[in-house]
Structure formats: structure tokens, C-alpha cells
Structure 1
Amino acid sequence: MFQDPRTPMVGYRFLVSIVTAGIPNPVDILFKEVSGLKMARSIDYTNNRVSVANSKQARALTLKRGVFQGGSLLMLQNLVVGDAWSTYLVKNDILVTILDDNFLPAQAWLVQNAFLESWEWEGIDAGRNDVLIESLSFSYRDLVSVPVPGLPS
């Protein structure tokens, strides 16, 4: 089915894939929300010269999802690390893909060399009747737009 390229993409049909040691995790893909996708650069003004600064700032990528009873492979990976949580870093690449009306990739971004910085669970409240949400916050510096085959670049 033909899709008009001038049609805006929707922000509620997406897929997230966390890659650790070059292996994509097929289970940790279901997320409720992704925030922190940001490309920015610092501009340096020196002696009437303008240039792009060499340093890259750290950014925070936050992924939110419902907590499953069986846990996730990412949680298992961190349990295996266990006592080394405060000293050991696991490098992750995170692919965020926006899907079109036919659930095919329309736009994709790769967050490179992301490190899990914090894992937070929403408050537990006996007066609420909703899903327990966990937030995973990753620190990263590199975000690249990934070309989707068959789409104009």
C-alpha cells in the first residue's frame, strides 16, 4: 500500500530493541514510552570564529514499560552482574524504530554505547488499579539516524 511521504508519523507505534554484546534481545522490545532521543551539538565562539565544539555531552534515554511477573532478560543480565552493579558497566546499543500503518519501519535511530544508569519502579499503591511501571534510564553520547531500506534518505 502506498504511503504519502508527507503524512506525519504517529508516535504510538514503535519498537525498541536492546542489543548487548552484539546480540539483540528479542524479549525486551515492549515499551510504553521512550524519551530522551536528542541530537545536539555545542557551538564554540572564539575570536570571531564559529566552530563545532569537540566534546559530546552525555544524554539520558528513558524507557518505560509494564513490569512482567517473570522479569526480563535485561533484569536477568543485571542480576547475574549482581554485586558488581556499582563497578561493572554493560554497553548496550538501543534501536528505536517508528512503524508505519502497516507496522513496517518508517524511521529508526540507534543509540550507541548506552549504559544503564538507573532502574526505577513507580510507587506501589493499594488504592490504584493499574500496571506497575518500571523506568530504565540509560546514559549515552551518540545517536545516529538509521536509514530504512526502500525509503528516501
Structure 2
Amino acid sequence: MSKKVIQFAIMTVGVVLLIFFADEYKQYQQEKPPLPIIEVNNRVIPVHIGAYEWHGTDVEFTSPEHLLDPEPALSVNEFDQIQVNFQSEHSPMKLTVSEWDIPKQKRKKLLEEEGFSAPFNTWDEGFVYLVVDAVWKKGAATYFIKLSVTQYGT
């Protein structure tokens, strides 16, 4: 074989490998964080991803009421137990749940574990926006849920 044929073969293999690894890297960067499974009374609550940092991709934060405003809220009762879980292979190192305080536009921490009671608020006719923050070695993500909470005793 001539030297040119060998050089051409090496360059062809190099280009094919470059295309393959570029495609794999693109898929790696487009991967999103795992979604939690959030349940109340054996019903799964729809979860929406907010801000996240994952594989070098940063997505900015938006307030939960703007993201979830058109979405219907799941009806629950005050003090119903809410569970936040991830599949075992996706368990975060840290998990925090907060209530989004609409008038103050900030978070009010509820817990740093997997289960908690549904809170009731008076400023938005019983609608509650919850913020779930999860942190892994690979990155971090914020998730939002919207609930319509009926006050205990009403």
C-alpha cells in the first residue's frame, strides 16, 4: 500500500471518530435532569422543570406563577402528606422544598426531606406554588408544582 492510501485511511477514521464524539457530546449537553415523582394521596402531581444546570447547560429561573399560571392545579386538602421521590439511580445529594411566597416573590422553606404536609395560604385563594430544589454531582435543578389547597375545617 502506498503512503497516501494509509494517510487517507487514517484521516477518514479520524473524521468519523470526530463526528461520532461530537454527536455524543451534543446529546450529553442536551440531556435534562431527572424529574421527581411527587405524589399526594396516591395521585401523581404534574411537575414542571424550572431553572437547571446540567452537563454545562444553564437554564434561567422564572417564577412559578408565570410558568404554571395556565396549568390546572391539583386539588388537595391542607395537611395532606406530599411525597417527593426520584428513581433510586437518580437520588439527589440534597433535596429542599419551599413554598413560593407570591406577594414577596421569594421562597419560604418547608423541609429538607422527602415528605411534608400541604400548606395553605390566604393571599392566592388557596393556590400554592411549591419549589423543589435538587442537587447532584452532575448539577442542580428546580421544579415547580401548583396545588389548590382546601383549608382544614372548611
Q: TM-score, normalised by structure 2?
A: 0.31
Task: Determine which structure has the larger helix proportion and give its number.
Answer: 2
**TM-score when normalising by structure 1:** 0.31
Larger radius of gyration between Structure 1 and Structure 2: 2
